[in-house]
Structures are given as C-alpha cells and as structure tokens.
C-alpha cells in the first residue's frame, strides 16, 4: 500500500441497506477525513478524526457514522442508505493539523 | 473561514504560464491560503499554501498581495496534464480540525 486507498471503487446499493466504505492510509497520519462531492456543491466534510480513538462531525454528518480504532483505518458507515447519499466519497489524511491533506481515489456510490 | 472568489474557467496554451487568481478580501490574520486541484475523476491534490510570504515549490508558485486580500497561483510551464479544477481555500491556523471548505474552483483548460 502506498498512500491512501479506498474500497470499493464503486457500488450500487439498494435503499435501506447498510454499507461501509473503507479507507486505509500507510503514512501514519494522525488526522483523517471523509468528504462527499456532489455536482454544484463541491466537497463537503462529513466526519473527521484528529487521532485514533477520537472522531468529530463535519458539516453534513447526518446518516453517516465513523470509527477510528487505529491510526491507519477510518471506515464510513451508512446505516440505512437513502438515494440522497448517492455521491462520490473521498477519504483524506494529514500528518498534523494544518498540513496538507492527501486524498484517496474516491468511492462512487449510487443508492437506488 | 473566509470566503474565496475565483473565475469559473480559464484557458492556457501549453508551455505558457498559467496564472490563476483568487480573491479573499475578508481574510483574517491567522488564515492561510491553500491551493488544491482536482483532475477529472481523481481525488483532490495539494499544490501549495502560504500565509503572507510568496511561496514556491516544485509544482507552482503562490503570490499573495501585501494586504493579503488576493493571491495568484502560477504554474510556470503548463502542460496538458495540468488541466483540472483548481481550488483556492482559506483556512484558519490552529483550528480544532483541518477542515477544508471547497468552493466551485476554476476550471483550467490547457490546450496544445
């Protein structure tokens, strides 16, 4: 692994199903983030984690949950997917607060 | 975080310098100017950031006006691979988390 990876690359999901998007980084970064990107709205922060064991809400957290059991992994869970959660999801990490963020390749999620 | 204003689109000939402007007239003293870009279907990529001094790295130069109300990102010799959406972001230092607020950005098209 080099950098930050996300899985799956894309997914089509029925409404009401549970889904976990995976994010892993091998840079030993303390901070990790989840964004969603929608046409006309840019990237919006969903949840973040400053360090392992802590998480916080971004600007659009409703319908999503995260956990940070260790430094490397930061999964994003949709407990009961809805069509408005159709989006491209990007995970990012940064070594220190204020430093540049490194982004993963994204997960394209479609909820029908 | 301060709001930024960027032109929606710009063109540049390959091999020429691309100068991308950004207005941030409400920037405050502890806010940094960050530039990211997003090539189609990829995650955003960090380019450069600065507080008040001009900055240069292997990718670009950042020129910040003395009053800090505007800045210019310079790609000295644009290539076709520099075609992307460029985001100018203003973010306070020392925030509790490294949230980046992405606006609409500037679509830069580099043509042969």
Across the interface, of A42, A59, A98, the residue whose CB is closest to B98 is A98
Q: Does residue A38 register a pLDDT over 80? A: yes
Q: How confident is the model at residue B94 (pLDDT cuts 50, 70, 90)?
A: low
* Residue A42, strand partner residues: A38
Query: For B71-92, what is the mean pLDDT?
Result: 94
Instruction: Provide, rounded to the nearest whole percent, the portion of chain A with pLDDT above 90.
Output: 79
* Residue A108, strand partner residues: A10, A88
Return residues 36-65 of A near B (CB < 8 Å).
42-45, 48, 50, 56, 58-59
Q: How many residues does the structure list for chain B?
A: 112
Q: Which residues, other chains included, contact B77 with Cβ-Cβ below 8 Å and sequence gap of 6+?
A: B15, B16, B17
Report the pLDDT value the prediction gives residue A26, as an integer from 0 to 100: 94
B27 vs B73: which has the higher pLDDT: B73
Q: How confident is the model at residue B96 (pLDDT cuts 50, 70, 90)?
A: very low
Q: Does residue B28 register a pLDDT over 70? A: yes
Q: What are phi and psi of A85, to 5 degrees?
A: -90, 5
Residue-wise pLDDT for B32-56, tens only, equals 899 999 998 899 999 999 999 899 9
Query: For B4-16, what is the mean pLDDT?
Result: 96
E-assigned strand segments in A1-106:
4-7, 10-13, 19-25, 31-38, 42-49, 56-57, 64-66, 76-78, 87-94, 102-103
Burial class (CB in 10 A: 0-12, 13-18, 19+), B34: buried
DSSP-derived letter for residue A83 is: G
Distance from CA of A103 to the nearest CA of B (A): 5
CB contact under 8 A, B97 and A50: yes
* Residue A91, strand partner residues: A34
Report the pLDDT value the prediction gives residue A55, as an integer from 0 to 100: 94
Task: Work out whether strand A10-13 and strand A107-111 pair parallel, antiparallel, or are unpaired.
Answer: parallel
Taking the CA of residue A96 as centre, how many other CA atoms within 13 Å lie in the half-sphere pointing to its CB? 4
Query: For A96-105, what is the mean pLDDT?
Result: 81
Q: How far apart are CA B56 and CA B39, in angstroms?
A: 21
CB contact under 8 A, A45 and B104: no
- C-alpha dihedral, A36 to A11 to A3 to B102, nearest 10°: -10
Among chain B residues, CA nearest to A6: B43
Whether residue A107 contacts residue A6, with contact meaning beta carbons closer than 8 Å, is answered with: yes
Report the pLDDT value the prediction gives residue B2, as an integer from 0 to 100: 64
Query: For A25-39, what is the mean pLDDT?
Result: 92
Query: For B74-103, what is the mean pLDDT?
Result: 83
Q: Does residue B83 register a pLDDT over 80? A: yes
Report the pLDDT value the prediction gives residue A95, as an integer from 0 to 100: 82
């Amino acid at each position: 692994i080099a950098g930050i990876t996300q899985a799956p690359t894309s997914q089509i999901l029925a409404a009401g199903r549970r889904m976990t998007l995976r994010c892993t980084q091998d840079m030993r970064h303390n901070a990790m983030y989840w964004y969603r990107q929608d046409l006309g709205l840019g990237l919006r922060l969903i949840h973040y984690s400053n360090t392992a064991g802590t998480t916080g809400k971004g600007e659009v957290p409703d319908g999503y949950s995260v956990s940070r059991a260790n430094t490397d992994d930061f999964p994003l869970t949709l407990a009961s997917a809805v069509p408005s959660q159709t989006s491209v999801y990007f995970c990012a990490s940064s070594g220190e607060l204020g430093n540049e963020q490194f982004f993963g390749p994204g997960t394209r999620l479609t909820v029908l | 975080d301060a709001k930024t204003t960027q032109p929606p689109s710009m063109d540049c000939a390959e091999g020429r310098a691309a100068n991308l402007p950004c207005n941030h007239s409400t920037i405050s003293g502890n806010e940094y100017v960050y530039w990211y870009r997003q090539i189609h279907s990829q995650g955003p990529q960090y380019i450069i950031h600065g507080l008040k001094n001009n900055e240069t790295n292997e990718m670009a130069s950042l020129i910040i006006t003395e009053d800090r109300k505007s800045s210019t990102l310079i790609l000295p010799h644009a290539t076709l691979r520099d075609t992307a959406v460029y985001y100018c972001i203003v973010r306070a230092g020392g925030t509790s988390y490294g949230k980046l607020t992405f606006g609409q950005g500037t679509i830069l098209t580099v043509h042969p």
